[in-house]
Chains A and B, each alone.
Chain A
């Protein structure tokens, strides 16, 4: 089994002889560094960083596409983009931002943070985690390869049939197979994170003590688990229609093309909550820290998140009010659409109540979190107006809808994700981002965002339709479109400020474990965390565990800092308060744990020997087969598709037969050939 030394590169030097020159197919070890180290890693933190980095790259691509769209629409009868190029760019802009940016950014944060927040050393299935990332990367590259291979997808991000069925060229094939690949990535991630949260919590971390970000991620992973198979079927039916001339969406054969819309939106509406719930979780972590108050109504926040998760399955047809569903269905979905505003509104009031009479500090993450609450409220309110059927029938497919979903997805999700980026960056990198630049980023983005998207409400109500590549002069849309184009460049500048911020703060800093005086477990460990996360698995006695380890109440109910002995380096598991919080595990358990802690402390200065799963080539190898299958299918070169299939299957066999920890990866202890999938169990 693997012995993990501390992550600082220098520390591995004594073991170097064991790290013989890497030959391909020789198992990488915990000491494999550099490019191979990243390509074979199963460490949830490295995978999380790769998710975040890759998604940010796609964010820049999607943003570039947005700028192209805005240049084209900046003036009437513009010829900057042809109609065909415009179709490709808007389809890829939407597909990129949803599937290649917001989803993987949330996945990356969840990957990095969930184990830290619940006190675990890794996720439940580390290699499955790795393949989830590689499939995401390859799926994104596969879809973008279409730009060089005959043209990108051009049928809109929701690919309505019969249009996308009969589109010539391979554009929509790339879309269907690309999303299919990305769906596999999301599904593996969902299974992995659900099991991690259900099964790998530290002792005492009961469900109702979990940080709210863990809860919201859990709900969104459950939504993914159930929503992905629905779009998988829809995409299979579409691909079969395009490849094998089946009749699923063939209207002349008597088919009902509304089936596509039902399947797509049965996936697509839970997807909306998949995109927003993690951001809600982030904001619910950030606001209490910078208000210096606990989250107002934690239980209600949890239950409203779960309620959103359930109700999210009952509102999909509000995307289809204009299709003629009949009065009963329309009334039912109208009511459910308005009803889902209730748990969402509860959350907004709880965020406000969290800040109410708190000691607010307006750091960059706090500004983004407040920006989230305000912008998301606007987007949520325009969302409620979609539930009003007569109004929605008028607004469908106008820029009013575009305004709405940019307010919830950009003003909501992206602002929340930027709040998270600034908040957790010191934990990820061991460096704080520059506050002055961060504030410039926030205010520029806030200004640019509203300049860009607020005018959409107006031109939408004036009747400007979505997806048109140009428009005639004199409709009253010209000025607002120009304002919007200017605003989009302000957003672009704000993103450049963010990149510049990442660059100027690249030098190592001393940020300490807990630069924000925060409340949750990830701040009890060094920044950046060691590979094994926790030297000792923490014992959790209350919600906001770290806060209760640092603060207690005086007789007036005010928070006072506990006295921490000078020499005490960590507060892991030692500063427990056996009576804190509700529903703790009982005294006999606490006592039991305390014994082992006492034992550990004698050797606390030694390097801990902790078993972590070994890196592996097979996740990347297995993932590589999927684009091969897809190219073979799209171009109907069956031999290539079969080759890709065999490639993937052989990768899966090699994976299954490979022990989770390599025998040669044991420099100190005797070999252990345990072939169990999961070794990242909390063994201190």
Chain B
């Protein structure tokens, strides 16, 4: 708490290191804010997943069902790709904390590419499903499946955009090691999106 009392004589001023603002908890405002936002996101996905589970198995027999369209091995591979991107995200954060900007960029770009591969895989999966006669309007399963996984895909896409933005900032030298926390915050979001995918993959794809 002592550093909260950073003080200056009138007429002069003391710079506070922007990376470590004095706060009551010692955590930066951005980090507490990100945690609060992610807590809120839990309820968003919680409601979407509940909707999917509530409608599971309520369609008329004979209309399109999960077992007709899911390609578990294919989705397992894309899930693996997404999970690996959490590893590269950690490596990117470790690199910028060391001040190793070249590796930071490498790992940021790798994470973004892995995330983009996941989104591309999802887009391909969706087109296959649509070709097999499934779209938003067909039945309860199709409506709730596309909405749930679509929301998740949108979250991954936003994450990819943030990673590419960080990459571009770093290329222009605007991501110094003192701003490692920005990478950490994007990382928090990224890991959250990954964890949500583990839940969705298990509940939607794996449990029959």
A interface vs B, CB < 8 Å? Answer: 124-125, 187, 190-192, 194-195, 198-203, 205, 225-230, 232-234, 236-237, 240, 244-248, 253-256, 259, 263, 266, 536-537, 539, 585, 589, 592-593, 596-597, 599-600, 602-604, 606-609, 611, 653, 656, 669, 672, 674-679, 681-684
- Can you pick out 26 interface pairs between chain A and chain B where the beta carbons lie within 8 Å of each other? A125-B33, A187-B40, A194-B33, A198-B32, A199-B24, A199-B29, A200-B24, A226-B39, A229-B40, A229-B46, A230-B43, A230-B44, A246-B143, A248-B55, A253-B59, A253-B140, A254-B55, A254-B139, A254-B140, A255-B55, A537-B7, A597-B7, A600-B7, A603-B10, A675-B174, A681-B16
Docked complex: B1-23 residues within 8 A CB-CB of A:
1-2, 4-16, 18-19, 21-23
Question: Within 8 Å of chain A (Cβ to Cβ): is B136?
Answer: yes
Give me 16 other A-B pairs in contact (C-beta within 8 A), A229-B44, A247-B140, A678-B21 excluded: A124-B32, A194-B32, A195-B33, A195-B36, A201-B24, A225-B40, A229-B42, A240-B143, A248-B55, A253-B140, A589-B5, A592-B5, A603-B11, A607-B10, A676-B21, A683-B16
- Given A199-B24, A681-B21, check contact A125 B29 (CB 8 Å): yes
> Which residue from A190, A240, A683 sits with its C-beta under 8 Å from B147?
A240
Question: Within 8 Å of chain A (Cβ to Cβ): is B47?
Answer: yes
A190 cross-chain contacts in B, Cβ below 8 A? 36, 40
Question: Within 8 Å of chain A (Cβ to Cβ): is B94?
Answer: no
> Which residue from A195, A603, A606 sits with its C-beta under 8 Å from B29?
A195
In Å, the complex CA distance between A363 and B100 comes to 65
Question: Within 8 Å of chain A (Cβ to Cβ): is B51?
Answer: yes
> Which residue from B10, B47, B143 sits with its C-beta under 8 Å from A604?
B10
Q: Tell me which of B5, B11, B22, B27 has the highest count of chain A C-beta atoms within 10 A of its own C-beta.
A: B5
Instruction: Please state if B5 and A237 are interface contacts (CB–CB under 8 Å).
Output: no
A537 cross-chain contacts in B, Cβ below 8 A? 4-5, 7
Instruction: Give the Cβ gap from A334 to chain B, nearest Cβ, in Å.
Output: 23
Question: Within 8 Å of chain A (Cβ to Cβ): is B68?
Answer: no
Question: Within 8 Å of chain A (Cβ to Cβ): is B144?
Answer: yes
> Which residue from B6, B15, B44, B58 sits with its C-beta under 8 Å from A254?
B58
In Å, the complex CA distance between A255 and B59 comes to 9
B interface vs A, CB < 8 Å? Answer: 1-2, 4-16, 18-19, 21-25, 27-30, 32-33, 36-37, 39-44, 46-48, 51, 54-55, 58-60, 136-137, 139-140, 142-144, 147, 165, 174, 179
Which residue of chain B has its CB nearest to the CB of A254? B58
Instruction: Please state if B59 and A254 are interface contacts (CB–CB under 8 Å).
Output: yes
B6 cross-chain contacts in A, Cβ below 8 A? 682-684
A600 cross-chain contacts in B, Cβ below 8 A? 7, 9-10
How many contacting A-B pairs (Cβ < 8 A)? 179
In Å, the complex CA distance between A633 and B40 comes to 25
- Given A245-B136, A247-B137, A684-B7, check contact A191 B36 (CB 8 Å): yes
Instruction: Please state if A198 and B24 are interface contacts (CB–CB under 8 Å).
Output: yes
Instruction: Please state if B9 and A599 are interface contacts (CB–CB under 8 Å).
Output: yes
- Given A246-B136, A684-B8, check contact A236 B18 (CB 8 Å): no
Instruction: Please state if A248 and B47 are interface contacts (CB–CB under 8 Å).
Output: no
Cβ-closest 10 pairs across A and B: A603-B10, A229-B44, A596-B7, A233-B47, A246-B143, A676-B18, A199-B23, A229-B43, A124-B29, A681-B21
Instruction: Give the Cβ gap from A40 to chain B, nearest Cβ, in Å.
Output: 21
Instruction: Give the Cβ gap from A502 to chain B, nearest Cβ, in Å.
Output: 35
Instruction: Give the Cβ gap from B138 to chain A, nearest Cβ, in Å.
Output: 8
Instruction: Please state if B13 and A225 are interface contacts (CB–CB under 8 Å).
Output: no
Instruction: Please state if B139 and A247 are interface contacts (CB–CB under 8 Å).
Output: yes
In Å, the complex CA distance between A674 and B1 comes to 23
Which residue of chain B has its CB nearest to the CB of A194? B36
A199 cross-chain contacts in B, Cβ below 8 A? 23-25, 27, 29, 32
Which residue of chain A has its CB nearest to the CB of B57? A254
In Å, the complex CA distance between A252 and B54 comes to 16
> Which residue from A124, A205, A682 sits with its C-beta under 8 Å from B33?
A124
